[in-house]
């Protein structure tokens, strides 16, 4: 239970985002728009939203490219955005849409950068950028699920038979055995490893001489990272 709480709190804290700026991008002329990156060696989240008209269906093959101060390519991401009408299961139709590209990348240098967007199927709907900074958080969530699932299963299966107080009482009476000590050591080791990985931003794409794509644990939300 304690390990679940530890990783849950760490997940919440590490996923907090700090707003840097909001700006409009030029999708009509594909002209780069300048942005300021305040801190080096930091993970930045580029949330790019394209506004669609009321027409259905609509699609946009949107590419977001990050350039340095000299307009050299740093990184880019691509996603097929869409807006469609589908059966909602209640005898009617509802409009569903995915109009956002989210790029998370560690930038090793602060200073002036540029963002260029292009819709490859010529969708000229307005495009807005919201820029955040954040901490690394890839593995806290995975271990929160790993440690939390057994506790949740135990809780839901035994809460009617023994009650919540009985379950908590049983946890309090847990004896400090060799197995218990080993389990605690493993949890502490895993947690420290997650902290180190979070601090080093392992698994995130980053700028630099060696360009890395996201690891298998990085949720790309169907965004294709082009490097």
Taking Cα atoms as reference points, which of 35, 26, 64, 34 lies closest to residue 47?
64
d(CA 75, CA 59): 23
Closest CA to 128 of 115, 138, 110: 115
pLDDT in tens, 141-177: 666 666 666 666 666 665 555 555 655 665 566 666 7
- Note the pLDDT tens digit of each residue in 13-25: 666 789 999 999 9
The mean pLDDT value of the chain amounts to: 80
Using left for φ > 0, alpha for ψ between -120 and 50, and beta otherwise, residue 194 falls in alpha
pLDDT bin (cut points 50, 70, 90) of residue 87 is confident
DSSP-derived secondary structure for 132-166: EEE---HHHHHHHHHHHHHHHHHHHHHHHHHHHHH
Boundaries of CATH 2.60.120.380 in the chain? 17-134
What distance in Å separates the CA atoms of residue 103 and residue 35, rounded to the nearest whole number?
A: 15
**Given this structure, which CATH class describes domain 17-134?**
mainly beta
Q: From CA 52, how far away is CA 124, in angstroms rounded?
A: 9
- Please indicate, yes or no, whether the overall pTM of this predicted structure exceeds 0.85: no
Average pLDDT, integer, range 173-198: 72
């Amino acid at each position: 239970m304690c390990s679940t709480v530890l990783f849950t709190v760490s997940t919440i804290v590490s996923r907090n985002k700090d707003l840097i700026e909001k700006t409009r991008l030029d999708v009509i002329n594909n002209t780069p728009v300048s942005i300021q990156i305040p801190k080096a060696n930091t993970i930045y989240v580029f949330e790019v939203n394209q506004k669609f008209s009321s027409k259905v269906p609509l699609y946009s093959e949107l590419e977001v490219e990050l350039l340095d101060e000299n307009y050299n390519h740093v990184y880019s991401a691509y996603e097929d955005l869409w807006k469609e009408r589908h059966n909602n299961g209640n005898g009617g139709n509802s409009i569903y849409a995915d109009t956002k590209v989210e790029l998370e990348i560690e930038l090793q240098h602060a200073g002036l950068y540029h963002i260029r967007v292009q819709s490859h199927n010529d969708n000229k709907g307005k495009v807005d950028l919201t820029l955040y900074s954040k901490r690394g958080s890839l593995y806290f969530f995975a271990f929160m699920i790993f440690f939390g699932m057994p506790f949740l299963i135990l809780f839901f299966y035994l809460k009617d038979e023994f009650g919540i107080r009985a379950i908590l009482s049983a946890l309090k009476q847990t004896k400090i055995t060799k197995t218990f000590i080993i389990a605690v050591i493993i949890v502490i080791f895993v947690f420290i490893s997650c902290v180190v990985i979070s601090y080093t931003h392992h698994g995130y794409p980053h700028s630099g001489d060696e360009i890395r794509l996201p690891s298998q644990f990085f949720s790309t939300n169907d965004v294709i990272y082009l490097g």
